[in-house]
Structure 1
Amino acid sequence: MKRARVACFGAVHDAVEFEGKLKLADGRVVEPEDVVWLSPVEAGTIFVLGLNYADHASEISFNAPDEPLVFLKGPNALIGHNAFTRRPDDAIHMHYECELAVVLGRTARDVSQADAYDYIAGYTVANDYTIRDYLENYYRPNLRVKNRDTLTPIGPWFVDASGIPDPMNLAVKTYVNGELTQDGCTKDMVFDIPYLIAYLSSFMTLREGDIILTGTPKGTVHVYEGDEVVTEIEGIGALKNTIVGDVAFART
């Protein structure tokens, strides 16, 4: 089942996909274009993997890491489907990153790889934009590169874990203005989902609602004001987002 969170009729609603429309929890059926799409889950801690596809690491002149390269992202960065992402006027090197987002369903501590899937509630799509102009030091990436407001669209759907039999074999694609620019598969992750859950839970407690963004394959290209970017993962959905400039955010 595909689930969403949307705003309409002056309130926030849980909804499900229903015959190409949205059925709200109170029974009303609405058109997708008549709502504001929100993050499909209320995020806890957001863990983000860097360089978790060897082909992407190579395309930006890095080697794949020997152990997971993980950083944290704040929920301030999240926006929903059909939303706008700000591209600062001084940015030159900004690109998308289509990523499978894994949502935890219960508390996890010292979880084995064999049991890791039992702790997953479901999956969604994330677009983890990067503005590399703001790199400041050896640690990649830093706060200003990855944690800016509006920099991480997520959604539109949350799909229950039971609806994705094999999350390690899903097509990952990105389209910029209708042109296919990224075409990969989750099977090419350096560290797979069970490994990541076991690794993270070995030294910290994971909670219901925590999200793991699992990295992106090769094919990232720069995006510019006015670009429409669609990040899509097989079986989960297509997340649309538009790049806007500083004027839209009254920053000039």
Structure 2
Amino acid sequence: MASLLDPDARGRVILVGAGPGDPDLLTLKAVAALQSADVVVHDGLVDDRVFVHVPATAQRISVAKKRDRHTLSQDAINALIVAHVKTGAIVVRLKGGDPFVFGRGGEEVEAVRAAGLRVEVIPGVSAALGCAAEAMLPLTHRDWSSAVSFVAGTCKGLAEQNWAGLAGHGRTLVVYMGVTAARAIADKLMADGVDPGIAVAVLERGTLPGSRAMRTLLADLGDLVERENVLSPAILVIGEVVLLSDAENHLKTLAVQAEAFS
């Protein structure tokens, strides 16, 4: 079967991961897909510099979402993609990070398949990987962490979710979209038995101009977010590996002293 990137194959959608922000982190296959696009349906977190790879003749449609203010529902976005593909267009659905890591890519693939249309997914560098690399923060380490988990901090019923065992000795927890609920997340983890003195990194605008990497302790997480006016996009990394990050060059250490919690 020919690749869906075959220029002779019309009427298809390509879900493309744009990475965490830095356009240099696009894959070669992602660039090829963008160059083939007739229509680009993109998220708001995609850096403007990525669009240099999109033909001037291509139609660009923003479906940017903000907390509590969505321009289009997910069903409407699905319908928009399907409608354009049915015209014979090559539609690139451009998503920040990776389409299958909190990107709703699975829902969009299901919608396209249900319409009997062709779809391909091109992965991108997820925010956790890109932001952690910039901060020289290994998410796993043979001596410190043999497991890493990813959770969304904006899900409904946060307090009822079972995160037991996701953070602690030998484990790393990465929270996407957790800035707004940072205090509640910290309270939840401590209530579940996580050490209040465990290290936390707050990685804001990772790989983008103006990025910040901050380090604190779990008990001080909510205060740090307020003090520093941390804004999305940002991720939280919780675990002992945070202490391995390059504090001198990449992290601003804002932690209260660990003995305060001993």
- TM-score tier by shorter-chain length is under 0.3
More helix, by proportion? 2
TM-score by length of 2: 0.22
In terms of Rg, which structure is larger?
A: 2
More strand, by proportion? 1
TM-score by length of 1: 0.23
